[in-house]
Structure formats: structure tokens, C-alpha cells
Structure 1
Amino acid sequence: MSDTTVNDQRPPQPASRVGRRAFLAGAAATAVLAAAPAATARTRAPVPAPSRTPSRAPGTAPTGGTVVRTTAGSVRGERAGALTVFRGVPYARPPIGPLRFASPRPPVPWSGVRDATAFSPISVQHTGTGGSEDSLYANVWTPDTAGRRPVLVYIHGGGWQLGAGSLPTYDGARLAGRGDLVVITFNYRLGAFGWGLHEDFLDAETGSAANWGLQDQVALVRWVHANAEAFGGDSGNITVCGTSAGGSSTWQLALLPELRGAIRRIVPISAAHAWTPAIGLTPDDARTAYELVAKDLGRTVRGLREVPALALRDSWQKVFAGSPTTRPVASGREYRGPVLDGRWMRGFDWELPTPTVPMMVVNTRTEGSFWTGPTPPGPPPTPVPTDEASLRAAVRGVLLKGAVEVSDARVEACVNAYRAAAAAEGLPQDPRSIWTEVWGDGLFRYQIVRLSERHARRGTSAQYVMDFSHPVRAPWFGTPHEATSKFLFGTHALPENVEQFGDGPLERQVSDEFIDLVSSFARDGVPGSAAVPEWPVFSPDRPTTLTLGGERVARLVTTPKSRQLRHWDDGDWVPRP
């Protein structure tokens, strides 16, 4: 394998569907443990609680452990209960120096055995002092390095600005053990380093000048496809799953021609489907943003490869500080995700054909309560509205995330439509609840549901749709955006999660059912679990949406809260697929 060209990471064409699968390492393991019998989704052996930190510092040479050979060299992981875990395995060369704003390159091969028992640094975040540009590493949890298990690649969210595959919530132990899967998490470039466009960053080898974080994700999938057998995975059975920005990425990766045959299925969860001006910069605004940063730092755009990472990060943040109504660019008003570049992002999801692979599409019942609850992420939160005037001000703030101007009439129409829908469905009508539903539907649930409906009409692959509805604990409320990850990974009981998400018998059952549904879908494309009714392929006009969570655990319904979504059909605020 060349270490200078991204093309060498492309997966081989699938010559055979039986036998030769190569998921994460290409060659068979040089040392493997005895294979255990595979469990079914309904009868899983107990697995250990997620381990929060590696037991060795980076760079130390562990004794024992399990050694496998990847395409770049051998790595040693460690046994943790019933699993073997590999942390910090390079899937691409560090994008530093001249490789900042360049397409990812394959990792430089090494000799000997590389320690893979400690997580790598996280990518540079849009806030704080931690993180590193040298962050393109993967983490693997496997029941056994022998065999050919389904592979689940998980793409973390964080608005394309935050997050890491090593966060405790994404510990893959429970999911890999109960699901009998090989589970992969990883880091990709964030913020100004990963999601933008400027021709002065043109990569002469690949012809690309944009969306480096998306390119990192492509490189990871190629690496997974090329390296399956060493970790006990099946390169012909890779499911890509992600939440929020990661959910959006699963959809975009499934549309790329070069990954056709490498991705078998996708599980987009609470996907933040990109559109401008709310969730993505226009190409012109992306160019302007880098030019403003270069001027601020006294450099040319090309010279931005040479400035300290945090200086670049901070200057980029200045461009997008404050209200979107006062910024020098009109797009990227809420998030700066992928930019239309004609290569990696050929169009927004609502403009492009629907994916041709089987899908399990998930949204949460109240996506917006992630931001309107007592501990929202990001900058200082908007005060919770308590009366009609403050409700209209809060709704205007949401609408200004996706439009340069918002009239009083539009605000009034939105409030009235949501209040009428809540009254018709017996839902709360207080100002905070109305504000929450507008936020979650406008930026998330509307496109998720409408794209699912479009796939039901036009798609050629099976699609299963879930409304995840397990309620969080007071003072939090509803089922917020990103609640899913705590139950998919079985990490709801971690100290940082348990107060909000709980750890009672019902929470454990919901987590088990969610894991079983995803793992069975990853195994053969048909989701099933012991306490879940037979789940049919999605049809919008029949009870085919699976509601998971709450005292009844699971039931089939027609699309929940469809009245609320009709408000967006009649306007031009969010694109209609």
C-alpha cells in the first residue's frame, strides 16, 4: 500500500459474498484467542460494564494482550472481560503541517508491534484547550479476533464542531458483547479543520479542497473494509451508524459511489440533514470565512496551514460569534457542516437520490428538549419562555437559525400551528413545550420524517423507522436529541448520564431491546427483539413506526405528531424533500 495517495485506501470490489471478509485489518490475526459460540440477539451472555479509561498510558509497551496485523502494521490490544479492545489504532496519517486541509493519507507503516491500549487525543474542539490535530485513530471492541461478525461503525455527533469516539458514552463494550458485533468508533476533523471549502487548499493528489472531515470518514470506512479479518469482522457486512451530525454523515457516505459495496446498511439517528442557511455554509461564504481568518491572522489562505491550531480555531470562532443576524456571512447560522463542493457533497440530501442500502432511521420524540432543557449545550442558553411575548421571541430565535429575515406573521403562524396541533393531540401547550417542538422539528424531525416518506415512495431498499420515546428524568423532560446513544451503548448508568437517563429495570430493558434491534439489523437486515412486535417495512399510512421506550417498551404506530410537520410543508423555511 502506498502511503502517499488516498486512492490506495479504496476497498476492493466484493468478488465474493462468502468467505473473504476484511473489516479492520486485512490480514488474519497473528495471535487470537479461542472463538466463543456466537449468541443470538435474544440470548446474550452477560458482558462487563463499559470501561471508562484505558489501563495504560500511551506509548507504554503492554505485556500479553492480543496482537493483530493491520495493513499498516501490527497492534496489540488488551482483553477486557469477554472482549478484546484496541484503542488508538491509526487509520490515516496525522493531518498536520502541509497535510492540514489535505485529503487523508494512509498511515505510515510501522515495524514491530504498536501499543493499542490507550485512546488517542481527541480532535481540536471548537471550545476549550484540549484536542490535537493528530487525532485520526479508531477504537475497536470485538468479542473475538477469530470469526466474521457483523461490523458496526459509529460516527459521533457534535454539530461538526465537538465530540470524539473515545467519549465514555460511546464505550462499545456493552454493544459489542450483547450484540455479538465488532464495534468501531473513531475521530474525524472538526470545525474549521474539517468542514469548509477554499480552492487555495486544493490537494494536488486528489483534486479536493473541501469537507476534510467527511473525507476522513470515507478513509475510515475504506480502512475498515480493508482490515476486517484481523478483528473478527466481516468486510461484506458493514453497517454505518451515527447520531446528529454523525447521522447526517451516514446518509452522505451511503450516497458516495466510491463506497458502494463497502457499506451494507446504515442507521442514521437524529440526523442533522444539512441545508443552507441553517446547517452548512454556502461555497461563497466558506471562502469568505477562510479569507477573514487569514486577514485576522495576517496570513494568506494558503498560509493558514502554518499558524498554531488554536489560533486558527479561535479566529474561525470569531467569524461565527454572536447572533447570526450580525455575522459577516449569512449561512452556517446554526451549524457549519458539509459544504457543496461537487465531489464529496454533490447536493443536499433532499436534492439527491435516496440511498439504495437498507436503513433503520431513528428520531427522538422531542429532539428539541436537548436545547430547551435545564442544561443545554453551547453558548449561554435562551431564557425559557414563560408567557406569550417571550414564547414569540424564542420561536423567532429558532426561525432566525434558518432564515435571514423572519416576519411577525411567520412567527405568529408557527406558534398558532403548533398550539393547535398540541391541542388536537392532547400534548402540552405551555410556552416551553411549544418552543421545544418548533426547535426539534424545524432543524431535525421534519426532514427525517419527510425523507423517510420519500424513500417509502421511491426507494429500492427496505427501511425501518423508529420514534425513540423513552422519557428522561425531571428536571429534564421529553426524549431529547442524543438520548439514543446512552441506550444504544448501554452507558445510561455512567455517573455523567444516570441522573438524567436513569438505570432502573425499565431503562435496562429499553437498552437491551435497542441493542438487539440494531445488532439484528446489522446481522441480516431485519431488526427483531424478544419484547418488540414484528416490525414491518415503513409505510407512512399504516402503523409501521416503532415507538421504543416508556412503560409499554415497544409498539407500532403511525407517524407520531404528523400535524406539527404540516406547518413546514406550507412554507419555504426548511426544504421539503
Structure 2
Amino acid sequence: MTTTVSSGATTIVHTTAGRIAGAREGEIVAFRGVPYAEPPTGELRFASPRPPAPWHGVRDATRFSPPFVQAAPAHSSEDALYANVWTPDPAGRRSVLVYIHGGGWQVGAGSVPTFDGARLAAAGGIVVVNFNYRLGMFGWGLHEAYTDPVTGLAANWGLQDQVALLRWVRENAAAFGGDPDDITLCGTSAGGATAWQLALMPELKGTVRRLVSISAAHPWQPAFALTPDDSRTAYETIAHRLGTDPKGLREVPAPLLHEEWTRFFSGSPGAREVGSGREYRGPVLDGRLVTAYPHDLPTPDVPLMTIYNRTEGSFFTDPLSPSFPPAPPAPTDHAELREAVRGVLRKMTPRVDDGLVDACVDAYRGTAAPTGRDEELRDLWTEVWGDGLFRHRIVRLAERHARTGTTPQYVMEFAHPTRAPHFGTPHDATSKFLFGSHRLPLHAEQFGDGPLERRISRNFAELVSTFVREGRPRSEDVPDWPVFAPDRPTTLVLGGETVASVALTPKRQQLRFWDEAGCLPVP
């Protein structure tokens, strides 16, 4: 049923599991903490998600659920599989944007103020949905002891949650004024990577109509994923330490399991009991949901918007950035630069000899524009970090889609600089401008809230929302944005005093080192 009942500030809609009451907030109606799956606790820990149990009466949907289990905040919980919906009008039939938060598959939540969908829903005339999914060892691993008796799956429970959420959205979009046949999937970082994977799944063909992949942390081994054997080793070792077996981990308190998982992957990657999962622990090759990683698969067969930040690495090298763990000290001389670069390369491969380090430093020095500033060493280190872990594969996959794909693709470099003493345009700068949250007190000091920042944010939101509604991005302050062609000026550069321009992909020469270095997969 899609009947909507409004009474003052309260709006009641019918979902497939029961009635919920949201709240009118200015131009939109917000529904928070709506269950899309049963709590994954007890026997459902390390199990495929189950549909939410129906309820009687009207369920309050005006407060966020807790985030999924993580180090902070303290109120995180396993009972966290809930969605949040912002809609201009539950009686309409609008395009739907489903947003997947990032956080290295370890942290984050739909309730984070950065991802509040109210402004984007109102300005774009679209329904915006975000949600929580399982994180850390509860969401991203593999062990046959957890083979689900219903689905036969034994891995990637967080990815399974995302599939369940998309099915829930398709079944319930109309209740919130959304069009179930017009769903665009969007995500940032880890969320951008799994959004890409979801768009490739045969079982979701027809559900995902368009894709916006932002700063995607495309998984590969050993950096962003565990091998199946290493995943088994992790669960078995932790179970042994706790005096049980893998099945027995279902009975261990969640905070203790999270603590043990964090301890297992602490310290230098070279000193751990396993060699993979060196930077993040994301999707594991399970032969069912994840049959291969993006560099070995076709690109998604839907219209694409591919976005990256100008200096992805400054999120990790700015000591004032909220990265976890905090940024190490910046290099101050050539010897320290070599060791800093070696540390980045070790995130990608266990074999880092002096020749590889020197080749990387020489390649980036050869392509950098000398400035004479003291920050040059820091900037080079930053570029190596951002290109090696993010930008290289994002750009190369975009180029491959341009060569072999059958759908239009629009590529953006987001380039609006942060405010000093911050520097560059760091990883995840985009979400602050897409959702208009750059103006919040927790972000304004770093990202700014002046007329230019509001103009950039308005254009960014309009580009994405027109793509969601029409399949082609446009905005009044932005020149015509062509379909991406690698050898022509077709990359939209958004940010700075000029607001927007169309150019050849910036800093292409820097990426050539990674094509031949042998420490990254080349799409």
C-alpha cells in the first residue's frame, strides 16, 4: 500500500512491514530509523539479512538508529540495519537516489550529519535514501562455518545488506513518493566501490538504473581486501584467542569481537599474521557475490558519473584531517621522503625494494611543477598516496569504459581547495558539497561557507540531481559537460574561483608510473 496520511507535522506511510510516522521538516518529509532487515544478532550474526518482521500500529520514524558497531560513537550497535529517507512529497513519483556511506568498510553511518539528505532532496526534487550496513568483521569477511542455510552464502554480509536495502527500496519507494523503476545508486570511497560492484550484479539488473561512483576505493588484494585464506585465518585465530571456534564467535559480545579484530590488524602490515587487507578489509572473493574485482570485470552497463578529488591523498597526509589513523609526520628531507613513499607502497604490495621507491619518487618529481615551497616534499608524498590508492584505478576504469562500454559516462575532478592550514582537495571532500554539509560547524573551518562554497555546492547538487532525474548532468553555472573521451577535453573540473571548466584529464602523466610499477592492478 502507498496510502499517505498527514496530520500537522506528522506524516504516516505504509511500508511492506507496517506503518511508519515521519516528520515534515521545511520542504521535505524525513523518515529516520526505518528497518530494512532484521537485527543481525544471535544466530543472524554472520548470516544473510532477513526481511524486517512486520509490526502492528504506527512505528515512530523520526529518530536515527544507532550506527553499526565501531570504535566510536559509544552507542554503536549490531541492531543497526535501518534506512533513512528524505522526500519532497510522499504522494509524488520522483527519481530516487540511494547513497552508500564510506569509511573503509570499518566506520560510518547514515546518521552522520555530513550525509543528511534534506537539502539534496529539496533542491533536486528527488527522494534521497541512505542507510547503515554491517562493518568490520561483522560485514566483510569469509568463513564456511557461517554458511547460511537459506542462501548458501558465507561471506560479505555488508554487501548482502546493501543488496537487501536496494530490494527494500524497490518494494517501498512508492510509499515515500519515489519511482521504483528509477533508482540511481551513489556512494563515496568504500561506498563508491560497492556501488560499482552492485551495479554489476545480474540479480540487480533493472533495479540500478544509473550509477554515481565517487572516489571509489576499488578493492583488490592485498591492499583493500583479504584473500579467502587470510579471512579464514583471521576468524580462526580470533576464535582461538577467545577460547572458542568460529561458530562460537556468534556468542561473543560485539564490542569484544570488534576490539579483537582491530588488534589483529593493528601495526605494520608486514608484521601481521596475514599479508592481505593491508590498508582496508573490504569485499572478499567468495565466488558468488564477488566473483572478481573491478579490474577483471566489465564496467557497469548503466549510465555513469565517475568522480574523484584533485588530491585524494591529502585526507591521509593532513595532520588536521579526521582520518583514522592520524596522518604521520610529513617528510622534511629526501631521506624522509623516500621512507614516506616506501610506507605508501607497502600498503599495496609486500615487496618494496629501493629500486621501486626511487622509481616512484623520480617519476613524481619528473612530472611535478617545481614551486620552491617547503611543502613540495609533502605534496609529492600526498600525490603518491592519493594516486596509488585511488585516482589511478578510477581514471583507468573510466578510460576503459570509454573504450569498451556502451553507456554514457561523465567524469569529474572535484577541485575546490580546502582552507588553510588544510591543503588540497582531500578524499571525501565531495560529500560535504553534494549534501551541502560544508556549512555545518564541524566542516566549515576546513571547507568554508562563503558565497563561492555555496555556489559550488549548489552546482554540484544540481549536476547530480539532473543526472538522477534525466541521465545527463547540467547546471546553470557549468559549461556543457560532454560524454567522457580520454583524449579530448571532456573532464569537468569543478571548484575554485572559475567554478567549472572542461579539460583534458588533469595530471595524466603522473599515473603512468603505476601502469608499469607492478604493484597495482591495471584495468
Q: Under TM normalisation by the shorter chain, which class is it?
A: over 0.9
5+ residue gaps in structure 1? Answer: 1-26, 34-62
Q: Does 1:90 align with 2:64?
A: no
Deviation, structure 1 residue 129: 3.4
Query: What secondary structure does 2:296 align onto?
Result: coil
**Among 484, 498, 519, the residue aligned to 2:444:** 498
> Partners in 1 of 2:110 and 2:375 — Cα distance?
38
2:5 aligned to which of 31, 35, 38: 31
Q: Is the 8 A contact 1:126 1:191 kept in 2?
A: no
**Aligned AA for 2:46?**
F
**Per-residue CA distance 1:511-564 (angstroms, 9 max, x = gap):** 000000000000010000001111110000000000000000000000110010
Cα deviation for residue 428 of structure 1 reads 9.1
The corresponding residue for 1:411 is 357
- CA displacement, residues 20-53 of structure 1 (integer Å, 9 cap, x when unaligned): xxxxxxx2133159xxxxxxxxxxxxxxxxxxxx
How far apart, CA to CA, are the structure 2 residues paired with 1:91 and 1:372? 37
Pick one of 400, 404, 407 that aligns with 1:458: 404
Task: Identify the residue that residue 113 of structure 1 maps to in structure 2.
Answer: 58
Question: What's the RMSD between the two structures over aligned residues?
Answer: 1.4
The answer to whether residue 511 in structure 2 is matched with residue 556 in structure 1 is: no
- The code of the aligned residue for 2:177 comes to G
CA deviation string 1:308-327 (max 9, x = no partner) = 00111111111101000100
Is residue 430 of structure 1 aligned with residue 361 of structure 2? no
Residues 167-187 of structure 1 show CA distances to partners (whole Å, capped at 9, x for unaligned) of 011111110110011001100
SS in structure 2 at match of 1:555? strand
Q: Confirm whether residue 373 of structure 1 aligns to residue 326 of structure 2.
A: no
Residues 344-423 of structure 1 aligned to structure 2 (within 5 Å): 344-376=289-321, 377-423=323-369
| TM-score, normalisation: structure 1 | 0.89
Question: Which amino acid in 1 is paired with 2:4?
Answer: T
Q: Which amino acid aligns with 1:28?
A: T
Question: After superposition, where does 1:479-498 map in structure 2 within 5 Å?
Answer: 479-498=425-444
In the alignment, is the contact (CA less than 8 A) between 1:422 and 1:429 conserved in 2?
no
Match of 2:238 in 1: 293
C-alpha displacement of 1:243 = 0.4
Change (3 A) 1:538 1:426: farther
**Pairing of 1:80-479 with structure 2 (within 5 A):** 80-126=25-71, 129-376=74-321, 377-423=323-369, 430-479=376-425
Partner of 2:13: 68
Unaligned runs of 5+ in 2: none
Q: How far does the alpha carbon of each residue in 1:354-385 deviate from its partner, in whole angstroms, 9 at most, with x for none?
A: 10000100000000000111224113431111
Bigger fraction of residues in helix:
2
State the TM-score, normalizing by the size of structure 2.
0.98
- Provide Cα deviations, 1:444-499, integer angstroms capped at 9, x if missing partner: 00000000000000001110000000000001101000000000000101010000
The 1:531–1:287 alpha-carbon spacing in structure 2 relative to 1, beyond 3 Å, is same
Q: Residues 453, 427 of structure 1: CA spacing in aligned structure 2 closer, same or farther, 3 A cutoff? A: farther
Q: Could you say what secondary structure the match of 1:87 adopts? A: strand
- Paired amino acid for 2:447: F
Length, aligned pairs only: 522
- Once the two structures are superposed, residues 200-256 of structure 1 have per-residue CA deviations (whole angstroms, 9 ceiling, x without a partner) of 010010000000000000000000001111100001110110100000011000011
Match of 1:13 in 2: none
Contact 2:4-2:90 within 8 A present in 1 as well = no
Q: What displacement does 1:126 show?
A: 4.4
In the alignment, what sits opposite 1:47?
Answer: none
Letter in structure 1 aligned against 2:351: E
* Change beyond 3 A, Cα 1:428–1:454: farther
Determine the C-alpha separation between the residues in 1 that align with 2:21 and 2:372: 56
- Rounded to whole Å, the distance in 2 between the matches of 1:228 and 1:129 is 32
Is the contact made by 1:123 and 1:135 (CA closer than 8 Å) also made in structure 2? yes
Task: Report what 1:539 is aligned to.
Answer: 485
Alignment CA distance shift 1:128-1:269 (3 Å): same
CA contact (8 A) 1:32 1:146 kept: no
- 369-378 or 115-124, which moves further after superposition? 369-378
CA contact (8 A) 1:273 1:349 kept: yes
Letter in 2 for 1:518: V
Deviations 1:106-161 (A, max 9, x none): 00000110000000010001456331000000001001001111101110000000
CA positional deviation for 1:258: 0.7
Change (3 A) 1:424 1:356: farther
Q: Give the AA of the match of 2:263.
A: K
Contact between 1:29 and 1:231, CA under 8 Å: does it hold in 2? Answer: no
- 1:519 counterpart residue number: 465
